[in-house]
Amino acid sequence: MLKGRSLVEPEDFSLSEMEFLFSLAENIENDRKYLRECLKGRLLATLFFEPSTRTRLSFEAAMLRLGGNCLGFAEPGSSSAAKGESLADTIRMAASYADAIVMRNPKEGAALLASRYSDVPVINAGDGGHHHPTQTLTDLLTIKRLLGKIHNLTVGFCGDLKFGRTVHSLAKALSRYPRIKMIFISPAELVLPDYIKSILVKQNVEFEQREDLEGSMAELDVLYMTRVQRERFFNEDDYIRLKDTYVLNGEKLSLAKEKMIVLHPLPRVNEISVGIDSDPRAAYFKQAKYGMYVRMALLASILGAVEGE
């Protein structure tokens, strides 16, 4: 049962629980009336201490489509955090008003801390460079819907692998599935953190680290592009030097399999050319839409509107 559960990192849910959410999301996608109004009278607190477009709007859209309502803030300057209020007090306050909390925070571990002070479920919408579990649910659902499976795949991750919380969460989640190979493509300064690599080693997952995108394209079933995140850099010169290291364009995409899919958590900057948006392998806007469906499934489940795993 997912009722009353928090989601701080991908491993908080079992594979069968995630499969239940994917099935529920597919039902929602196929029937616009399915679960409509199931959360009528319920409130979701959206506490975003960092900027967000897709994650915040998709959660709000999900709650509204289920008949519920939202309250919260979109930047810390509009909350009492600007006055020095502790995160624990903010969470206690929000939990007294709402039935569930969605929070994005720039500090690693903030979501775990929030879950310990909350009387209602807490959903991590990104904590610094650590985790982003609902993006991972989105990514896995997209792979399953477009490729028909989440096993026996070669998945390439390209760009900022050091600070990319979406990469960290997805790599951890994929390590639980059989016959997954991962290829991590980045400049030396932005390689995958050792703690993620140690998880992959422990799970006996085959993986490689490379710097060459073109030379890897033909092997991939999934290419997960990421932007170099300006907000994670302390040195502007380093950001400028690294930001355009990898740019996916039509020439590079021509090297890929016909049924390979390109994912991106968005927003993109320069790392994917708009010229490939019409290519059937470009799945990142479909991915964003699947994010709303899986968040609808998640909210309906943790708030007890549906029975399941």
Query: Same domain for 167 and 204?
Result: yes
Query: Same domain for 162 and 195?
Result: yes
Query: Same domain for 58 and 205?
Result: no
Query: Same domain for 59 and 192?
Result: no
Give the pLDDT confidence score for residue 35 in this predicted structure: 92
- The CATH number assigned to the domain holding 32 equals 3.40.50.1370
Give the pLDDT confidence score for residue 230 in this predicted structure: 46
Query: Same domain for 283 and 140?
Result: yes
SS (H, E, C) the chain: CCCCCCECCHHHCCHHHHHHHHHHHHHHHHCCCCCCCCCCCCEEEEEECCCCCHHHHHHHHHHHHCCCEEEEECCHHHCHHHHCCCHHHHHHHHHHHCCEEEEEECCCCHHHHHHHHCCCCEEEEEECCCCCHHHHHHHHHHHHHHHCCCCCEEEEEECCCCCCHHHHHHHHHHCCCCCEEEEEECCHHHCCCHHHHHHHHHCCCEEEEECCCHHHHHHCCEEEECCCCHHHCCCHHHHHHHCCCCCECHHHHCCCCCCCEEECCCCCCCCECHHHCCCCCECHHHHHHHHHHHHHHHHHHHCCCCCCC
Confirm whether 119 is domain-assigned: yes
Confirm whether 273 is domain-assigned: yes
Confirm whether 161 is domain-assigned: yes
Confirm whether 195 is domain-assigned: yes
Confirm whether 4 is domain-assigned: no
Query: Same domain for 257 and 274?
Result: yes
Give the pLDDT confidence score for residue 276 in this predicted structure: 95
Give the pLDDT confidence score for residue 189 in this predicted structure: 82
Query: Same domain for 297 and 220?
Result: no
Confirm whether 239 is domain-assigned: yes
Query: Same domain for 126 and 157?
Result: no
Closest among 156, 189, 167 to 260, alpha carbons compared: 156
Confirm whether 1 is domain-assigned: no
- Structural domain count, the chain: 2
Query: Same domain for 143 and 237?
Result: yes
Give the pLDDT confidence score for residue 234 in this predicted structure: 46
Q: What domain range is 256 assigned to?
A: 133-288
Query: Same domain for 65 and 139?
Result: no
Query: Same domain for 159 and 284?
Result: yes
Query: Same domain for 274 and 141?
Result: yes
Per-residue pLDDT 10s for the chain (309 aa) are 899 999 999 899 999 999 999 999 999 999 988 999 999 999 999 999 988 888 999 999 999 999 999 999 987 665 566 556 799 999 999 999 999 999 999 898 999 999 999 999 999 999 877 789 999 999 999 999 999 999 999 999 999 898 888 999 999 999 999 999 999 999 888 899 999 999 999 999 999 999 999 999 999 999 999 976 544 444 555 545 555 678 899 999 999 999 999 999 988 888 999 999 999 999 999 999 999 999 999 999 999 999 765
Confirm whether 185 is domain-assigned: yes
